[in-house]
Amino acid sequence: MRGKALAKGEALLKLEGISKYYGSFKANDQISLEIQPGEIHALLGENGAGKSTLVKMLYGSLQPDEGEIFWQGQHVHIGNPAAARELGVGMVFLHFSLFDALTVAENVALAMPPGKSVGQVGRELKEISASYGLPLDPNARIHDLSVGERQRVEIVRCLLQHPKLIIMDEPTSVLTPQEAEDLFVVLRRLSAEGKAILYISHKLAEVQALCQEATILRHGKVVGECVPADETPISLAKMMVGADIHEVSSRELQVATGEVLMQIRDLNLKGDGGFDTDLHNVSFLLHKGEISGIAGIAGNGQSELFDALSGERTTDKESIVIKGENVGHLGIQKRRKMGAMFISEERLGHAAVPEFSLSENVILTRHGLEDKLNNGPFLSRGTARKVKDAIVHMFDVRKGSDDPTAQSLSGGNLQKFVLGREVMADAEIIIVNQPTWGVDAGSAANIRQTLVDLAEKGAAVLVVSQDLDELFEIADSIATLNEGSLSAFVPTKSTDRQKVGLQMTHDVAGTTSHQTAH
């Protein structure tokens, strides 16, 4: 069912001239918008367009420097998140704020006003979760839940606070197609009950199908409003970026005939912590000129597989082979020197040091690979800045100063920088985990095109992603990772999203495919 525009009445929420400054930089510049009761309203924009800053002000985490907020016709000041919740504003965050070792009821109780026991909270959440078709066991521990179930906890926790407006930040980014459809049913019911939803997503097809209104931000300003059902994903993306969106160039799918550049043989790895996932007999091949895709719901072993492939965790010597040499016992820098580059899922803190400048973050992974970065026992910061400038130019990394800290960049711009840092090092093997997670449509298209271009030039590319649209757009073959076991790789053209989505949530068979290691 496609979204329909609502008739305008008294707005539930009205913003007039909201601005937020960081020094001379305007994160939000005179933003005005209205949200009606029962309306599913999309907030769209590129990374760094000002969406996060705006919703943080609505939720009381930041305060506007200019402008006014009206709630049901009354001027209000939202001093903190507790004040926002008391007013009737709830938020379901992109990054779940749950304690793995606690039960569902204990996690929910932490966000509730004092005075209710955990048992009472458990009974209430069981009742409301069942009524909305979001079944939860109050006594289940978070670490035992799937990502979809964890999102249910966040939603139910929000609903127990009786919100009139729910802010949802990238709610389907970690869901299978089936789980996303279940979520849409819930959101449409909430809308029918009169609850408004402010919906942030880079998946424009779902915005088109679900949302009744959309406000588009660019460089901190409102640049357009529309009824998404009257648009297309391409036209919405064009409004966001102010130009035509580059579509990933089509390429003939490869059939695993190129030289094997990396081989994984019966890889077993115990989880490093109490809530990690063990890997079980993982085997596959990466071929020259081919893009291999691994789908899976977060928490099924993707991080552990990345750590093993990159050398952040060493394994049996023979379990990982790069260009014919056993490297399972070697660390990440030695694997880099063999032509392998690794791009982790966690941009800030794993792929980049938050407090380091961009040029310093270049040195982190490129020292020892770039002769000009090393001057005897010393590092050349001038060369590092030149490499940084080349990355920024080639990948259109938008920043507020010449050499800012990594933490000052938006998520999408930092992702472009991290990707550029690795792929500009003449990599023959690229292992990338969630390459476009939380990245806007224009940046995502550029990142995917970069990976396609690398494969065209002969690199072996492995993309681990929860985004099935992404994998079906660029991957030659796809496998699924479920509870630490990898399915057989199959040619992309011989399967579909529904089949892969089901595999992501069910037990899968072993690795007997065109990529099985021998």
Over the stretch 410-425, which tens digit does the pLDDT of each residue have? 777 888 899 889 887 7
pLDDT value for 509 = 41
Average of pLDDT values for 329-346?
90
pLDDT at 516 over 50: no
pLDDT value for 149 = 81
pLDDT at 179 over 80: no
3-state secondary structure 265-305: EEEEECCCCCCCCCEEEEEEEEECCCEEEEECCCCCCHHHH
Instruction: Band the pLDDT of 355: cuts 50, 70, 90.
Output: very high
**Among all chains, which residue has been given the structure tokens 């065109």?**
514
Instruction: Band the pLDDT of 281: cuts 50, 70, 90.
Output: very high
473: buried, middle or exposed (CB in 10 Å: 19+, 13-18, 0-12)? middle
Asked whether the beta carbons of 37 and 58 are under 8 A apart, the reply is no
What is the percent of the chain with per-residue pLDDT over 70, rounded to a whole number? 91
pLDDT value for 510 = 41
For 146, 171, 452, 492, the CA distances from 473, given in Å and listed in that order, are: 26, 21, 10, 9
Query: From the CA atom positions of the chain, what is the Rg in Å?
Result: 24
Plot region of 40 (φ>0 → left; ψ -120 to 50 → alpha; else → beta): beta
What is the β-pairing status of strands 213-218 and 40-45?
Answer: parallel
Instruction: Band the pLDDT of 249: cuts 50, 70, 90.
Output: low
Instruction: Band the pLDDT of 135: cuts 50, 70, 90.
Output: confident
Highest mean pLDDT among 32-41, 150-159, 371-380: 32-41
Helix (H, G, I), strand (E, B) or coil at 34: strand
Highest mean pLDDT among 124-133, 322-331, 390-399: 322-331
pLDDT at 517 over 60: no
Angle between helices 497-504 and 177-192 (to 10 degrees): 90
360-366 long-range contacts (CB < 8 A, ≥24 apart) are 360/384, 361/406, 361/417, 361/421, 362/387, 362/388, 362/391, 362/421, 365/336, 365/341, 365/421, 365/422, 365/425, 366/421, 366/425
pLDDT value for 432 = 94
- Note the pLDDT tens digit of each residue in 59-98: 999 999 999 999 999 999 999 999 999 999 999 876 677 8
H helices present in 372-514, as ranges? 381-395, 411-423, 441-456, 468-474, 497-504
Asked whether the beta carbons of 447 and 435 are under 8 A apart, the reply is yes
CATH class of the domain defined by 13-241: alpha beta
Expressed in angstroms, the distance from the first to the final Cα of the chain is 49
pLDDT value for 397 = 87
Token pair of 151 as six digits: 């999102």
Name which of 392, 397, 388 is nearest 365 in CA terms.
388
The angle formed by the CA atoms of residues 178, 278 and 435, to the nearest 5 degrees, is 55
Helix (H, G, I), strand (E, B) or coil at 260: strand
Length of the chain in terms of residues written: 518
Highest mean pLDDT among 246-255, 479-488, 495-504: 479-488
CATH of domain 258-339+428-437+458-518: 3.40.50.300
Task: Tell me how crowded residue 431 is: count the other CB atoms within 10 A of its CB.
Answer: 24
Quote the pTM value. 0.69
**Among all chains, which residue has been given the structure tokens 């010393």?**
378
pLDDT value for 1 = 43
pLDDT at 514 over 60: no
pLDDT value for 73 = 93
Instruction: Band the pLDDT of 491: cuts 50, 70, 90.
Output: very high
pLDDT value for 251 = 65
- Note the pLDDT tens digit of each residue in 183-195: 899 899 999 999 9
**What's the rounded Cα separation, in Å, for the pair 128 and 353?**
42
pLDDT at 316 over 60: yes
Asked whether the beta carbons of 436 and 456 are under 8 A apart, the reply is no
- Note the pLDDT tens digit of each residue in 421-474: 988 777 899 999 988 876 777 778 888 888 999 999 999 999 999 888 889 999
Instruction: Please compute, for residue 408, the number of CA atoms within 13 A of its CA located in the half-sphere on the CB side.
Output: 16
**What's the rounded Cα separation, in Å, for the pair 173 and 199?**
13
Helix (H, G, I), strand (E, B) or coil at 204: helix
Sorted by where each begins, the domain ranges of the chain are 13-241, 258-339+428-437+458-518, 347-426
pLDDT value for 264 = 96
pLDDT at 126 over 60: yes
Average of pLDDT values for 32-50?
91
Averaged confidence pLDDT in the chain:
86
Name which of 210, 208, 250, 198 is nearest 230 in CA terms.
208
